[in-house]
Each structure stands twice: as structure tokens, then as C-alpha cells.
Structure 1
């Protein structure tokens, strides 16, 4: 059966998706959205956990993560199921999994085993803390990684304790880095002819995302602290109260600071020695922010967005999620896209390609919806498929 591809960019690659929950499915979604032949492999219904993390199959979380994929069922704990998987792996390009590090070896589907079957296989693993080391067997969870990776220590208002980010940022970034690793390995395979094992973890991803905050410690032994809505180094940058709501303003550098002070009709701020330099503005941040708000509360957020943008000062409203998708620029970008065969809309890819764009090509699959189609494509006969179904291997 012909299956619609989301793009032609990665259409030559076949991906076996053993992932679950969020980090792994995020990685595979990147490949599926760019046209890879993604086969989501799940346990047969009677063997599956009745309370899978991530919510119900038709809920927003699952639907968001599994569009543009096909699905088959396969009991990997059955020797016959393992043999089926090996036949699939022999012809596939990529395997992605996010089991606990010891699980894949117990199942016999670890990288070394798969490499013997297919030396060109690109095998990607996501874990909580790494494939080895003292924490490798610990269960991983997004918020745990946010805490151990340092993010929660710099998020939130000073003196109010650590705060998690409002999205599963460790899961999502680990998935994106995994996808980047897969694409890097596929590019390298074009030269060497060999696959390799990509490994990443929620903890590694979270530490990488610290970026300049990590550099402040590694290079200068400075431990960053919570700064609330204030930017830790560019001042004044943060959230300010207006007459009717709040606004984000970013005044990075002396020129923008001057334009900002003039735009809000506060020339006295420019002549005040307490605010003359970045260092002095940082030292007197609280009094400066208070002074700024006395001017900003005279107008609405919409008014200030117009005035400040006209003056060349970066700023913007602070939207609730419904307001995000009602914004004229968001509508113009077309990032909210209709899913075929449903009345659902989901967020599409955040970048575009001019010749091979991505699209919502197919709704998320039902459990085992394409099992027979997939097995047929991989060379299984009707008799073999019937036997596997009868023995409940698929």
C-alpha cells in the first residue's frame, strides 16, 4: 500500500522506531516529518502496558509526536519476534531506541548485535544519564535532568526556590540532538560505508543547553544565579508592567539603550550616572526597572510594541498559548497545520526547505495499523505473516 511521505528530503531512508514517551519519539518525528520511511514498532495490544506514559493514543501528546509514521506490532520477547526484527534491521538504515541501557542487550537488539546483521546500520540511543557510568541504570525523567543539569537553579525568581521550565526541555532537546546525530552519521556513512552508534542523554542535552551560563562557570568560575525575568547579562532586558498587561523588552548595548530611553520619553535616564554604563545599570538594576515602569504604565502593551519597534528596540507581548496562534505573523508562517483524515491541527516543522518542504502527510497510526504492509515490503510471504499473526508474534 502506498504511504504518503511528508517530504522527499529523507525519503530514501528507512527507520525502525522502538521509542516511547517523548525524547525518542521527538527524534524520530524529525525524520518522519522530512519523509523518512518510519516504522513504529510496538508490543502487541495484549502485551502492552495499559497505562503508557504520554497519555492516551488519541490525546494531544501522542498525536503530536507520531504523525507521518506507520505502525506495526511485534513481540520482541518472543524468539520469533526477534528473528522478524533482525530481518527488518538487515534492510533498514536507522534504529532508534530509548530503553534503559540494559534492556536492549537483554532483548538481543543492542548495537553490536545489529551491526553484525547490517554493518551500515545507524543505531541511535537516548537515555537518562548515559549508556554507562555510575548513573546509567537510573530511570531518567525530564524534570530530574532539568534539576541535575543546572537549569532549575537559574530559573525562577531569586529567593523563591528552583523552578522547572514550562516545557519538557530535556526530553525535547535530547530528541533533537539525537536526530542531528543520526543525520550526521548518515552523512558520514556516505563516505565510509559504515554505520555507527549515536548516544545522547537527557543530562547531556540539558548541560549543553546551559550554553553561556555553563561557560560563565567553566571559564570564569562564576556560578550563575536566578534572575527571574531579568536577563542575567543584558540590562535592562526583561518583563515590564504596562497600563494593561506586561511586555518583554530587550535593550542590548548602548545604542539600543539610548533609543529605548528616548522612545519612552525618559531622557533623564540617559543623564543619570547610575545608568551610564552596562556595569552601572547592572548594579542598579532594581531601581532602573522601577523607573522604567513609571513610564511604561502610561500606555498599553500594544501601544508600546508599536512605539518601540518603530524606534528599533526589540520588544514583544507576552502571549498565552491561544494568543500565540492568533498572532498575524504566526498565521503567516503557517506553523499550525491540518492533519489529514482528522479535524486536528498540530505544530509543523520550524524550518523550511525550498525544494523538498515538509508537510502533515499522514495522521498518527493506530496500533499495528500497517503491520501486514510493512512485513510484505520487507519480503515476508502471506503464509509467514499469517503464521506470525496466529502465534501472536505480531
Structure 2
């Protein structure tokens, strides 16, 4: 199996999901990712046992999906970076690393001496990566942010997903939503920087912000605003379909399940839909018998389509729509995604053994090489690999014991 990052060492001084998610992707691509955690407290995300109203961990188990997802496949080292002895160990790890990634805020980076200049003094060739909320320049360069605030709310997704008449803003569809997209973005930037270093000898400084990733995700609407010189209008949405196409939008079945249509050329797909729906007379209906009429009368056509969908169950529609040319999809909840036939067929859900030997599953990163699914491995226990990694640096057992006594390492 091709692992294009094999031989690359990534040193991660980061917490929660945004930047650690990049390390997880690189680990699945074959990199040796060493996660540095505080010698006593560890990554703050380890302490999250209740998230978005649900339990995030099984009682009596070390397996925590919110931590496993962005930390799979790494090695964990517990270092008290505020202590000189631990800092010397960090410098040795920096010397042996190709990439340094962090999401610590500027004050914390300065206090721990892990700013760009500090790290480059130790290893001038290292690729230095900062994940931030709002970018490193400007009045908010020192301000923190989470994906709920910075990616979702600030960068336009929340407003775009919230109907004008709503009494509350639509929430993110899942925890870590923007963080995981940002992690993929960082991983791609690191791959490009490694290629540039290999071909030019020049090392890069990479900056990725949650705000920037969020704006990239909403760029269609933002670009319209830039062209118009103001917020683009939000015409009233019809109850069903779209303003000019009855074959775009979500429709409810007889058993209260949902299907999503996205047949962007209504004239091309209308006849086919009417045939499979058992309503061929609608093809010749004088309101819909040309593409121009169909688009002009889209709200009326969409009301008919909604009635048609309500006549059959979800399973019946799956049979009828199978194989048609027009694009459509089932609307799935998290359990539906976990059992999606195409995700399963393509190895996008991987099996692993947790620290207790229990078989678990995680969504794999979406990039595959040579048609081979990624190998999914569990996240490390807190400071699990401290001794292993430090022995590789040449430390003796006596030195390890002394460092533990002084609380410089876990």
C-alpha cells in the first residue's frame, strides 16, 4: 500500500481538533506524527466526555470518538514544556522533524518558545505550520476561535443555512465540522510544502485559519456579494423545489423520510421523472410541456411533485429512482452515513482495535492512493509513547526516571 508520507516526521504541539485533524490525515498517509501533550493535563480534548448534549465516551473505556478522530495513528509524548529539561527534549524532536504544527495562540507560543524563530533556530529546514482562528495578521491575530464561532458563524455558513424567518440560527450539522475541513486543508498545504522543499530546497511557513477555510466554503455567495457591492438578495423560497426548477430540493415520502433531488436541467429530466413516478400525463400538460413553461410554472410543478412523493414510502422510491439519469440522493442521519453502502464498498469506514482490544470503527480520511483504503489505527493513550520516543533520542532508563521525578515528562 502506497503511503506517500512514509519517512516524514511531524511534530504536533496542538490541542482539540482543527490542527490535530491535519496530523491525523498525515498519519494515515504514512507520516510518523508525534503529539506533544502537557505532562500532567494532556490535550484538553481528552477531558470532553459530554459534547453537544450526548455522551462522547463509553464508560469504562478509553475510546472517545471526539479524540480518536483527530488523533488516530499518532504517538503521544508528555512533556512539561515550561521546564528546561523538557524544552531540551523538544529541541531534539524538532531537529529530527520535517514539519512542526501548532494551534497555540501567540502569547502561549511566545511563553513556550515555539514561535517560528524559536523553532527555526533549532531546525532551519523545518516546515512551520500555524492554525489560527482569524489569521496571524490584523487586529485579531491573537484571538482564539472555534469552528462554531469562526468557521460557521463568522464565515457565513450559519447565516446561509438559516431561513430568514427563523427564531434561532441553524447549528453546525456535526461537532468538529469546520475543524475537520480545516485539518484536510492544512494537510494539503503541508504536502505541497514538502514537495516544494524537495524540489527547491526552500522551507515554507504555512498559515491556515478557520475563518479562511469558512470563507472558501461559502465563496460562491461571498463572491456574489463582492460583485454586487452588498449582500446578495435572498428571494423567498417556494415551499417545494426551487423558484425555477421543481426537480431541485428535498421531498418527503409517505413514511416521513426525505429524498433530495438535484436535477439541474429540468427540461432534460422532467419526462423521465414523470414516467418513473407513474404520471406520464404531466409531460404533455400545457403548463409544463416546454422547458420554458416548466421553469415559469416551477412552483406549481413542485407542489405536484411533493404530492407524488407523499404517495409512496421511502423504500418504494428507492426502487423507482434506481438507475434514472437525473441526480438524487437519500437524506441520511449519522447512522445512515455509518452504514452507507458506497462508503463501505470503498473502504471509507475503517476497523481498528482500541486500547482495550475492542473492535471499533472510524470514518477514514477521504483520500485514497492506488485504490487502497487507508489503514485506520487508534489514537494514543495519554503520553503512551513517552519512553519509546525518548529512548529513540538516546536517553537511558536512569535519565527517564530522573525526568519523571522532576515532572519534566510523564
TMscore range, shorter length: 0.7 to 0.9
Q: Counterpart of 1:310 in 2: which secondary structure?
A: coil
What residue number does 2:170 align with? 163
Q: Summarize deviations over 1:23-63 as a string: whole Å, max 9, x none.
A: 11111110011111111110112687698457666322112
- TM-fit CA distance, 1:123: 1.2
Distance 1:372 1:275, change over 3 A: farther
Q: Distance in 2 between matches of 1:144 and 1:50?
A: 17
What residue number does 2:335 align with? 322
- TM-fit CA distance, 1:92: 0.4
Contact (CA 8 Å) 1:74, 1:81: kept in 2 or not?
A: yes
Q: Counterpart of 1:304 in 2: which secondary structure?
A: helix
- TM-fit CA distance, 1:240: 0.5
Contact (CA 8 Å) 2:282, 2:288: kept in 1 or not?
A: no
What residue number does 1:246 align with? 258
Q: Summarize deviations over 1:171-191 as a string: whole Å, max 9, x none.
A: 122211111111111110012
What residue number does 2:118 align with? 113
What residue number does 2:67 align with? 62
Q: 1:31 aligns with which of 14, 26, 31?
A: 26
Distance 1:372 1:212, change over 3 A: same
What residue number does 1:392 align with? 407
Contact (CA 8 Å) 1:275, 1:288: kept in 2 or not?
A: no
Could you say what the CA RMSD is over the residues aligned between the two structures, in angstroms?
Answer: 2.8
Asked if residue 17 in structure 1 is aligned to residue 12 in structure 2, the reply is yes
Equivalent runs, 1:172-211 vs 2, <5 Å? 172-211=180-219
- TM-fit CA distance, 1:324: 2.8
Gapped regions of structure 1 (runs ≥ 5): 1-5
Q: Counterpart of 1:163 in 2: which secondary structure?
A: coil
Q: Distance in 2 between matches of 1:232 and 1:375?
A: 63
Q: 2:363 aligns with which of 347, 351, 361?
A: 347
Contact (CA 8 Å) 2:12, 2:36: kept in 1 or not?
A: yes
Contact (CA 8 Å) 2:6, 2:30: kept in 1 or not?
A: yes
Q: Distance in 2 between matches of 1:275 and 1:382?
A: 83
Q: Summarize deviations over 1:182-232 as a string: whole Å, max 9, x none.
A: 111111001222322111111110000013222322334561549699668
What residue number does 1:138 align with? 143
Distance 1:262 1:211, change over 3 A: farther
Q: Distance in 1 between matches of 2:244 and 2:116?
A: 44
Contact (CA 8 Å) 1:239, 1:247: kept in 2 or not?
A: yes
- TM-fit CA distance, 1:333: 2.3
Q: Distance in 2 between matches of 1:352 and 1:101?
A: 35
Contact (CA 8 Å) 1:71, 1:370: kept in 2 or not?
A: yes
Distance 1:50 1:215, change over 3 A: closer
Q: Counterpart of 1:12 in 2: which secondary structure?
A: coil
Contact (CA 8 Å) 1:7, 1:33: kept in 2 or not?
A: no
Q: Distance in 1 between matches of 2:204 and 2:340?
A: 43
Contact (CA 8 Å) 2:245, 2:298: kept in 1 or not?
A: no
Gapped regions of structure 2 (runs ≥ 5): none
Q: Counterpart of 2:170 in 1: which secondary structure?
A: coil
Q: TM-score, normalised by structure 1?
A: 0.88
What residue number does 1:3 align with? none
- TM-fit CA distance, 1:271: 4.1
Name whichever of 61-70 and 154-163 sits farther off: 154-163
Q: Distance in 1 between matches of 2:247 and 2:342?
A: 26
Name whichever of 219-228 and 204-213 sits farther off: 219-228
Distance 1:241 1:46, change over 3 A: closer
**Aligned residue pairs: how many?**
387
Equivalent runs, 1:232-271 vs 2, <5 Å? 236-244=247-255, 245-253=257-265, 254-264=267-277, 265-268=279-282, 271=285
Distance 1:216 1:270, change over 3 A: farther
Contact (CA 8 Å) 2:260, 2:330: kept in 1 or not?
A: yes
Q: Summarize deviations over 1:303-336 as a string: whole Å, max 9, x none.
A: 2233223331222222232233334333322322
